[in-house]
Amino acid sequence: MAAFLQTLLLVSCEATQTVKTPIQIAFIADLHLQDVNGELQDIGYQGVELGNGNNVIVRTMDAQLRSTRLFNENYFAFLAALDEIVIRGIRYVVLPGDFSDDGQPLNIRGLNRILEDYSKNHGISFFAITGNHDPTRPFADKGGKWDFLGKNGKAQPILSEPNLHGFDSIMQHPPLISEDIREAGYKEIINTLADQGFFPKEEYVFWATPFSSYSYEEYSMTNARKAAQFEQRFYSIAPSDKKLPDVSYLVEPVQDIWLLAIDANVYLPKEDGRGYQGSGIGYNRVVKHKKHLVNWVTQVVKEADRLNKTLVAFSHYPMVDFNDGAFKEIQKFFGNRAFQAHRVPEETVSEVLANTGLKIHIGGHMHLNDTGIHRTNEGNILMNIQTPSLAAYPPAFKIITIHDNDTVAVETVVLDSVPGFDTFFDLYKKEYSFLLEKESENIWDNRILDSRTYYEYTHNHLKNLVQLRFLRKEWPNWPKKILTSLTGRELLALAHIDNEFSSERLEKVLEGDTSDPTWQKALTTADAQIVENGLKVDAFKSWKGDAFILALYELRSADKIALKEIGDHRIDQYLLITESILQNRDSNVLEPIRLFVTIFKKQLNGTPAINFYMDLAEGKIVPMNNQNIIEKVGTKQ
């Protein structure tokens, strides 16, 4: 990684001729911390016995493998990431939302305990902003989960009040009731995390909110403390007259660096007036219902320019499309809800945000590694960096290095061997045995417990997630049947059928009847094409289309980090199939597969998202020479 930084400095000097003392800031998004070592203080419950005299509060493996996030092992990943940050000498760490798993007092206390420890012992300053999982609603609400892990591999429901959920007495222990598992609101969360950016501190150069009225020159701790009071940080949710909190803030932790923490949660009141909807949609609702934020960001940008401050914004949600230009195909193939299509910022929304003048935004929420750019008709350019989650594949965080107002480097740090990641594996083995005994349906693949590193573990988590959730709930049946039934060789043969080859004839092939003369001719043509391209026919025969499907999810989650898992030879095979299918415009049967390979191709060729620098003056993303070389923290030699 030294070569990466050396190259960056050379490019930076050439671009601007002036270099400040570099400032590094780490961004850890979507931590979803479950305090495995915590305690439900009101009932004195410390969880299931681990076997070494300790007890832990963890969720079941079944729950983890049906969720887009891990709940348990990411606790150890967070500590590993912070230890790496300490080694690198980084003093500033940003948490862009979902730092807890549903904002329970148990988990917020646990998070603050860790942050205070690293602040005290290593001098790190933390800056957090809320995501849709912290809080889940603006004010405290009932909560709980049915799938904590209990004795003998059996699920243990823990609820904030009785009868919150029904439960199956055969598959679960009777519920435990604890206030520590309720879902806290804004006030409880920011008061517990008061020292993590939500309130002013003496060491800050400057601190403000969207509702504060003092200028930079008028700043004092007295007026900052007054503006920071919770009661001063409310807005009216349009079109209702309800008052809701907004805990956005601007902080200057070190001279001339401004961090803009945007609370992009929008909790719309339910139609019946009882409570609020969740906030997972993001900026599509902000522009409509939190217009004061858009105005405030515009003002902050102008002030940063006036005072010559380097401004970096962060929030939980992406500000631009995160699909590498494949959104229209994704929406047509999967519909409006799958592949998180409903969370993609609309073009007009990105336009509004870019026209604030903001240039850099770091987001999370999507659990994927991505870089996006939006260019407006007015000439404004907004660069959006999506930080992966430590609770999913790839387990990684971002480091930005600010060299001057025009040159910012971005590095992706991938975790590999996380100490303690397999601590709970014996508990999961008991859970698996219990599920086998009860003949549970759709039981998870216990080979995940053979994972040798945390990186491999998160990759296996993705594999299970694709099988147990995505393929079952998101995929249209016809293309799913085609891809999961055919080998690579047969998928290439599809590129050589014409419009007379009907879906009925293809159906027979999928059922195992390959005697159709047209199909046999297509196979022969595919074989010849493979040889002409210097590849081997047997290599195409060795896999089925479900591997192709997994590769799409790997690329979507990790960008080119996934090339290690997919492999160069397999990529060559996928690309030959992709280009061949795209060239065949005669067969209507191929239309859904054309959409699939188009999505794959665009995901493979997106904007650099691993190691690159942002030329803010020119509005360019420039990859480093070692763009595809990933340094995995803790990799075993």
What digits encode the pLDDT tens for the residues 320-339?
999 999 999 999 999 887 78
- Distance, in Å, from the CA atom of 545 to the CA atom of 566, rounded to the nearest integer, reads 13
Dihedral in degrees, nearest 10, Cα atoms 497, 590, 509, 549: 130
Answer yes or no: is pLDDT of 631 > 70.
no
Give the model's confidence band at 44: pLDDT under 50 very low, under 70 low, under 90 confident, else very high: very high
Phi (first) and psi of residue 566, to 5 degrees: -75, -45
Average pLDDT, stretch 516-533?
Answer: 97
pLDDT value of residue 167: 61
The predicted structure's pLDDT at residue 13? 39
Residue 362 has pLDDT above 50, yes or no: yes
Percent of the chain clearing pLDDT 70 (strictly above): 94
Position with higher pLDDT, 21 vs 195: 195
Going by pLDDT thresholds of 50, 70 and 90, the confidence category of residue 239 is confident
pLDDT per residue over 441-461, tens digit each?
Answer: 789 999 999 999 999 999 999
Greatest Cα pair distance in the chain: 84
| Cα gap 443→429, rounded to integer Å | 12
For residue 432, report the phi and psi dihedrals to the nearest 5 degrees.
-65, -40
pLDDT of residue 458: 98
Q: Cβ(317)–Cβ(595) under 8 Å?
A: no
For the record, the structure tokens of 116 come out as 């205070």
Tell me the average pLDDT across 588-617.
Answer: 94
Confidence of residue 23 (pLDDT cuts 50, 70, 90): very high
- Determine the Cα–Cα distance for residues 24 and 90; give it in Å rounded to an integer: 6
* Helix (H/G/I), strand (E/B), else coil: 73: coil
Segments making up each domain of the chain, as ranges: 37-71+143-182+419-452, 454-604
pLDDT of res. 21: 84
Helices and strands per DSSP (H, E), number in the chain: 22, 22
* CA neighbor of 340 nearest in space, from 267, 284, 413: 284
In this predicted structure, what is the pLDDT of residue 133? 95
Q: Which helix (H) or strand (E) holds 87?
A: helix 74-87
Average pLDDT, rounded, for the chain: 92
Res 489: pLDDT: 98
pLDDT of residue 625: 66
pLDDT at 637: 28
pLDDT of residue 482: 96
Report how far residue 454's alpha carbon sits from residue 33's, in angstroms, rounded to the nearest whole number. Answer: 16
Identify the band that residue 144 occupies on the pLDDT scale cut at 50, 70 and 90: very high
State in Å, rounded, how far the first CA of the chain is from the last one: 16
Q: At 272, is the pLDDT very low, low, confident or very high (cuts 50, 70, 90)?
A: confident
Res 585: pLDDT: 85
The pLDDT of residue 18: 41
**What's the rounded mean pLDDT across residues 207-229?**
98
Residue 6 has pLDDT above 80, yes or no: no
Which pLDDT score, from 0 to 100, does residue 15 have? 38
Indicate whether 12 pLDDT > 60: no
311-324: average pLDDT: 97
Q: Is the pLDDT of residue 199 over 70?
A: yes
- Is residue 11 scored above 60 in pLDDT? no
C-alpha span between 34 and 591 (Å, rounded): 44
pLDDT at 10 over 70: no
| DSSP per-residue letters across 183-221 | B--HHHHHHHTIIIIIS--TT-SEEE-TT----STT--H
**Half-sphere exposure of residue 242, counting CA atoms within 13 Å on the CB side?**
21
Question: What is the percent of the chain where pLDDT is above 90?
Answer: 84
d(CA 577, CA 533): 12
Mean pLDDT of 346-370: 97
Asked if pLDDT for residue 344 goes beyond 50, the answer is yes
Q: What is the pLDDT of residue 470?
A: 94
**Whose CA is closest to 110, among 29, 181, 26, 200?**
181
Please write the tens of the pLDDT for every residue from 58-96: 999 999 999 999 999 999 999 999 999 999 999 999 999
Residues 332-361 have a mean pLDDT of 92
Q: For residue 168, what pLDDT band results from cuts at 50, 70 and 90?
A: low
**What is the per-residue pLDDT for 1?**
37
Cα–Cα dist 231/228, whole Å: 8
**Three-class DSSP category at 548:** helix
Q: What is the pLDDT at residue 633?
A: 60
- Can you read off the two tokens belonging to residue 391? 């609770």
Predicted local confidence at residue 86, as pLDDT: 98
Once rounded to an integer, what is the mean pLDDT over residues 34-49? 97
Query: What average pLDDT does the segment 91-118 reach?
Result: 97
